[in-house]
Amino acid sequence: QKTSFHRSQTLDFKNGYAFSRLPREGVGGDTLFANQLSQDELDDLCTKGATLTYGQVKRPAPSRFTPAFVAYDKKVLKFDAYFMEEVPISAEEHYRIRQVGLYYYLEDDSMCIIEPKVKNSGLLQGKLMRRHRVPKNEQGDYYHWKDLNVGIDLPIYGRTYRLVNCDSFTKVFLESQGIELNPPEELISDPYTEQRRTPVQKPVVPAGPDPFRQFLTYDTKVLRFYAIWDDTNCAFGDHHPCIIHYFLADDTVEVREVHKRNDGRDPFPVLMRRQRLPKIFVDKNKNFPSCVLEITDHEVQEWYSPKDFAIGKTVTFLGRTFLIYDCDKFTQDFYREKYGITDFQPVDVNKKPLEKAPQVIPPYNGFGIPEDSLQNCLSLFPKPPRKDIIKMLENNLKVLRYQVALESPVPEDRNRRFILSYFLSDDTIGIYEPPVRNSGIPGGKYLKRTKVTKPGSTPENPIYYEPSDFTIGSTVEVFGHRFVITDADEYVLNYLERNAESFPAATVQSIRDHFLPRKVVVDTASSGIPKKDLYDLIVEVQKELKLREPFNTRQFHEAFHHFDKEGSGFLDKTRFLNICDRFNVPTSTILLKKV
């Protein structure tokens, strides 16, 4: 705490002679004790030791040197400061006070300035000046800790910092170095920031209903109404079931849409967020915009209240009309206690089933089968008619074949023979004409596989041919062409006999009567001859015919069918011998007589 460091006078003159005397006071005026040695004597005592018999004691080594960067490591002087910054572009403030901290590092005489960050200040705060040695003037001098004190202005790079205070370590260090600190000053605050922190004076509202009392009374109490929003007038509109929540605490309304599974709508729950909804608007001026972002109390004459809601009543919220058809039990109790309403009969809003208009099927146009053409009337994208899969699997590859003759006034068509195939898997008919050489008719497929309707059936109720309709001698009309059944395959007889319960007895008997003569002849021919001898006879005939060159077996068979006018499959002996003579087959051989 010393401030005076002068020494007392020890040199003097007496009778014209200079001499030295002991000081009467110590350094700075301190009191000296009696019998004190002189300074020279003290110096001798400090440097000299005890003298031994064999010589003088050596002087001790001087203390180790400690550099400044070690002695002052991590020792920093900290000053609180501020500077004033002009704000030329704002009408609310002309200058800004920014508080900073100035740090002086004793180890290398460097300085840095840091401004504390303030949230949402809009300023670039933090480290305003990096750590380095700061120049003091243009002569190349740098700032030293001796130049720092409280209550001074410190110009740095064109900006003046006012040092107003320091921490305890800085104060002790500067006073230990003999620097007298100025009294600390008060840190000035930013006037605009203080203005923002002052509470805004709210206008005095005249006494009225206390909103806090309403909030405390009706908190967590909500009126629930069930309503229907009908927007069928719009494109793709529908009836939307909704729930209207009226919050009694603050008179706000919320509308939620009730979603069903797979209803095809976006699953957002809130149709209208919780808000106060206007009921009656004040008369607007012509120049007032029709679309506003927010509706204030000045534009609304009346808001929605609980008295505006009732079962069977319609309410309009922001252009949407809702029909209230029911409410929950709490809402009924609220209206019963406050308004005295006792009728809470819900309104039936279920959709009435629409009367289905009868579908008129247009007449059959003749293209394709009626079932396939009917699909164009039942669906926009027609599907093929359904097939009886069980029937197709059970009757797969089962075909009834008949030989038919064409009834025609043309003489050339009378001798034409056809094979009519009836497919049991899908009740379709196909007609094939075997080609005959030199007949002038190519033959081949006469009718592709299709269903054939009976004469007299209508396109609305078609009746198709069945196996029970095919008897020997019956007529089959196929698309205007009449065919007479003259023969049948043996498989037809076997199939009808196995399934006799599914066909009329007349049909089965007709096929049996047709095959009876043939069966009798076969039985008679094979009754007296063993089967082995018959097979041996056939082999010998085949060998004999192969020796006859050339021999056309196909023409031989066609000749037999040609002479068999009735189609019975048998010829008498005379005709048989005539055919053999025509094809140069010897008729006098023993082999022919065996045949």
Calculate mean pLDDT across residues 95-117: 94
Tell me: the pLDDT tens digits for 450-485? Answer: 999 899 888 778 899 999 999 999 999 998 899 999
Q: What is the pLDDT of residue 370?
A: 81
Q: What confidence tier does 542 reach under pLDDT thresholds 50, 70, 90?
A: confident
- pLDDT at residue 587 tops 70: no
Would you say 102 and 154 are in contact if contact means Cβ atoms under 8 Å apart? yes
Q: What is the pLDDT of residue 207?
A: 59
Q: What confidence tier does 25 reach under pLDDT thresholds 50, 70, 90?
A: confident
Tell me: the pLDDT tens digits for 397-449? Answer: 999 999 999 998 888 888 889 999 999 999 999 999 999 888 888 889 999 99
Element (H, E) at 521: helix 505-527
Closest to 387 in 3D by CA, of 451, 466, 455: 451
Q: What is the pLDDT of residue 2?
A: 81
Q: What is the pLDDT of residue 115?
A: 95
Q: What confidence tier does 56 reach under pLDDT thresholds 50, 70, 90?
A: low
Q: What confidence tier does 35 reach under pLDDT thresholds 50, 70, 90?
A: low
Q: What confidence tier does 55 reach under pLDDT thresholds 50, 70, 90?
A: low
Residues near 74 by beta carbon (within 8 Å), at least 6 away in sequence = 107
- pLDDT at residue 378 tops 90: no
Would you say 400 and 427 are in contact if contact means Cβ atoms under 8 Å apart? no
Report all structural domains of the chain as residue ranges with CATH numbers, in order of start.
68-197 (2.30.29.170), 211-339 (2.30.29.170), 361-396 (no CATH), 398-525 (2.30.29.170), 531-592 (no CATH)
Q: What is the pLDDT of residue 425?
A: 93
Average pLDDT over the chain reads 86
Tell me: the pLDDT tens digits for 305-318? Answer: 999 999 999 999 98
The least confident of 156-165, 282-291, 298-307, 563-572 is 282-291
Q: Which residue has the higher pLDDT, 574 or 508?
A: 508
SS3 category, 168 = helix
Q: Which residue has the higher pLDDT, 199 or 52?
A: 199
Q: What is the pLDDT of residue 235?
A: 85
Tell me: the pLDDT tens digits for 484-525? Answer: 999 999 999 999 999 999 999 999 999 988 888 766 656 655
The least confident of 97-106, 201-210, 258-267, 508-517 is 201-210
Q: What confidence tier does 53 reach under pLDDT thresholds 50, 70, 90?
A: low
How much is the pTM? Answer: 0.38
Would you say 268 and 242 are in contact if contact means Cβ atoms under 8 Å apart? no
- pLDDT at residue 321 tops 90: yes
Calculate mean pLDDT across residues 113-140: 91
Would you say 401 and 491 are in contact if contact means Cβ atoms under 8 Å apart? yes
- pLDDT at residue 589 tops 70: no
Would you say 304 and 313 are in contact if contact means Cβ atoms under 8 Å apart? no
- pLDDT at residue 206 tops 80: no
Q: How far is it, in rounded angstroms, from Cα 127 to Cα 146?
A: 24
- pLDDT at residue 287 tops 80: no
Please tell me what DSSP assigns to residue 439: S
DSSP for 95-115 reads EEEEEEEEEEETTTTEEEEEE
Burial 315-330 (b: 16+ CB within 10 A, else e): bebeeeebbbbbbeee
Q: What confidence tier does 289 reach under pLDDT thresholds 50, 70, 90?
A: low
Q: What is the pLDDT of residue 92?
A: 85
